[in-house]
Amino acid sequence: MEKIWFQSYEQGVAHEIDVTLNQSIVDVFQKSARKFANRPAFQNMGKTLTYAETAKLVNDFASFLQNTLKLPRGERVAIMMPNLLQYPIALFGALQAGMVVVNTNPLYTPRELEHQLNDSGATTIIVLENFANTLELVLPRTQIKNVVIATVGDMFGLKGKLMNFVLRKVKKMVPEYRIDHAISFQTALKQGAAHSFTPVELTRDDTAFLQYTGGTTGVAKGAILSHGNICANMQQAAEWIKNLLVDGQEVVTAALPLYHILALTINLMIFTQAGAKILLITNPRDMKGFISELKKEKVSVFIGVNTLFNAMINRPELSEIDFSTLKLTLSGGMATQKPVAEKWKNITGTPIVEAYGLTEASPGVCCNPLGISAYTGSIGLPISSTEIELRDADGNEVPLGQPGEMWVRGPQVMKGYWNRPEETAKAIDARGFLETGDIAVVDEKGWFKLVDRKKDLIVVSGFNVYPNEIEEVVAHHDKVLEVACIGVASEKTGEALKLFVVKKDPSLTKEELIAFCRTELTAYKVPKDIEFRDELPKSNVGKILRRELRESANKA
């Protein structure tokens, strides 16, 4: 199939990037620290660090790892904390010291944490004290030798001591734990500052992250992301945003967890490179507190996922926020539903620009042009230096307009899966194309539209049904807050559709919803089985987990 999108780039966006521009993430961060030294870099709960202040703390933490712990280059260092000021300090510090960062979800169960620590071979972990009890349970069965414990109040001086007291004694948010020989985050910074840091030479081929993925489809695997992979994605993004955003002037929300690849690259990497002020939101589920923070700031870039936007547009306080400075709302991680996008545009005056990616691609692959005026329903065009093929089950490219599985090639594609050569061989073919597992179509202008996940495809009486389509239709109903669609076994049709719905209006009935679907969908696409729930299971970034719903349906 002719690569028609090469003629479809947004005006001024280069087809190719120069991957030799930066040698490492550390190079990029240090350039920003010098260029934007006096500008605010990170803000959290009223405390702000400039780029110069952040760079000093990063250097201290790197020195601690190098001189106090004496970790060898390439050692795996796990970071287990939400969006706090300590997160970028620990992350950039570990990278500067030549370590490999293993981002770890603070909400992991002991089983999940033990698997990731052992699979990665991490020997050091930085953990927020609120989650140290989980670590304590698995510590004897891991290779962890060094534990650094952070507290919410670490970076706030005397105010921080009061914050910690309230969290520990009043709100009871820090479960009891005992980890012998643990070092406090503040002590680590002090010990690092007492020594001189010796710079570590890094190249684009050096591994920066073991970013775990695939937990929704089986055992989580560590995607090996090199400094070159992440730097390439930063450059690709810089090409895409250069006509709309201005280096050193933007204010960006970081409500999605930075340990997730979406926020890690977009919020932390791309906008650190751009010298932006990054607002770290520790608990976006506290919608009242989140909106209160937004009222205080002139935000120019908002990054989220469909479930976050949906939660926000259903809060009347959202209309009290001044969105006059908002230039860009970017969505990724899951399909954005049209009714959500339309309501967001009506309230904020800014359309949601959808992007597409996956952990194994660092993650950016496609994005809508930033100049769009409304929801497009597509994932846009491939970013610079990125090729996409749509293939059928036999590996042949499909005709224009026909759905096929996306295969991606570019400098942002991972090196492979950690210690899993067989899995790597399945995921990346001999030509360097990465299998995504996502089904898409491309039109005559080169725009890609995501149809669904290959594993989520439902076959009803021989007809293919894509859950995204059903969910978007149902989401248009005024009485529906959230919806998920799965396939369940059926003697009559092979598979049948089942809906899980969270009501916005308690008066909604199954009969009413089925009747609505009949007006919008052909007969075989109309769900007959509907289960109302108070909430739907979600991943750490807010993606609705159809897998868990399928498992619960099969047990019933």
Low-confidence residues of the chain: pLDDT under 50: 1-2, 5-8, 215-217
pLDDT tens profile 157-187: 999 999 999 999 999 999 999 999 999 999 9
Closest CA to 46 of 354, 279, 310, 231: 279
Enumerate the CATH 3.30.300.30 domain ranges in the chain, comma separated: 457-555
What pLDDT, on a 0 to 100 scale, did the predictor assign at position 215?
A: 44
What pLDDT, on a 0 to 100 scale, did the predictor assign at position 218?
A: 54
Closest CA to 57 of 92, 81, 28, 83: 92
Tokens read off for 96: 């500067």
Enumerate the CATH 3.40.50.980 domain ranges in the chain, comma separated: 25-202
Q: Which residue has the tokens 């935000």?
A: 299
DSSP string, 38-70: TSEEEEETTEEEEHHHHHHHHHHHHHIIIIIS-
- C-alpha–C-alpha distance, residues 425 and 248, integer Å: 42
Fold of 25-202: Rossmann fold (3.40.50)
pLDDT tens profile 184-215: 999 999 999 999 999 999 999 999 999 998 64
- C-alpha–C-alpha distance, residues 413 and 253, integer Å: 26
What pLDDT, on a 0 to 100 scale, did the predictor assign at position 494?
A: 83
CA angle (439, 313, 259) in 5-degree steps: 60
Closest CA to 29 of 65, 70, 72, 61: 61
Does the structural domain 4-15+229-453 have CATH classification 3.30.300.30? no
Closest CA to 100 of 25, 192, 150: 25
User: Using an 8 Å Cβ cutoff, are 125 and 77 in contact?
Assistant: yes
Enumerate the CATH 3.40.50.12780 domain ranges in the chain, comma separated: 4-15+229-453
- C-alpha–C-alpha distance, residues 329 and 302, integer Å: 5
Does the structural domain 457-555 have CATH classification 3.40.50.300? no
Q: What is the DSSP letter of 205?
A: T
What pLDDT, on a 0 to 100 scale, did the predictor assign at position 6?
A: 47
